[in-house]
């Protein structure tokens, strides 16, 4: 049942993507990405049609769980244009997310995609935060169980946390062939070169020593 719900949601996302996607629109049946090309364009250049094979539209192994033995207790397995070259210009991709008990997919954003997530196993606490509408960043949250679906609007910070006592699994469709991801803590405390202590201390209204400690903790666990 959960898989059926997800497929319906994914189909709806694909339909919307054809109208609203920020990715380049296809001007032919498909444009299989030439991942070896040295040409730099917005997206990927097309392979010669005569060189396209069924394998360019195929990926196996999504049934295998990701390794959640890490500091956040989650694993994201992407299925985007880098894994399936045939997704180039089609404006859609997929991820599998595995969560250990208390596992977290930490606050992050996809700068180029809306996400629709379906829970296949387990129980997740999920949410997203709006932009500063009337100087307020509103938080929308929901507890999801097997078969439930939730949408994270494009570009907004969102998260998922496994509140159950067993492993959880989710599949998510994204409205871009290459949605990108910015994990907030990684970007703020782990950028290269690092953001100035003065900037972060003032932004978070804390002592610079705490910023130094947070940055050190980040590199300890990464």
Q: Binding site for Mn(2+): residue ranges?
A: 108, 110, 115, 158
Q: Residues annotated as binding site?
A: 105, 108, 110, 115, 158
Residues linked to residue 96 through DSSP beta bridges, in sequence order = 77, 171
């Amino acid at each position: 049942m959960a898989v059926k719900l997800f497929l319906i949601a994914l189909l709806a996302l694909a339909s919307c993507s054809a109208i609203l996607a920020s990715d380049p629109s296809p001007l032919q049946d498909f444009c299989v990405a030439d991942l070896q090309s040295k040409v730099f364009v917005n997206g990927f250049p097309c392979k010669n049609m005569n060189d396209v094979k069924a394998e360019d539209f195929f990926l196996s192994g999504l049934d295998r769980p990701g390794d959640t033995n890490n500091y956040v207790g989650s694993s994201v397995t992407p299925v985007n244009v880098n894994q399936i070259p045939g997704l180039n210009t089609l404006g859609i991709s997929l991820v599998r997310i595995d969560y250990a008990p208390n596992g977290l997919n930490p606050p992050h954003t996809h700068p180029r995609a809306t996400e629709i997530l379906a829970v296949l196993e387990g129980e997740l606490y999920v949410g997203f935060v709006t932009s500063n509408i009337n100087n307020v960043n509103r938080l929308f949250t929901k507890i999801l169980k097997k078969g439930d679906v939730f949408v994270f609007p494009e570009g907004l910070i969102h998260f998922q946390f496994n509140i159950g006592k067993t492993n959880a699994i989710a599949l998510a469709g994204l409205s871009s062939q290459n949605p990108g991801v910015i994990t907030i803590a990684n970007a703020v405390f782990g950028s290269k070169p690092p953001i100035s202590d003065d900037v972060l201390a003032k932004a978070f209204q804390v002592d610079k020593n705490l910023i130094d400690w947070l940055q050190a903790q980040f590199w300890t666990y990464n």
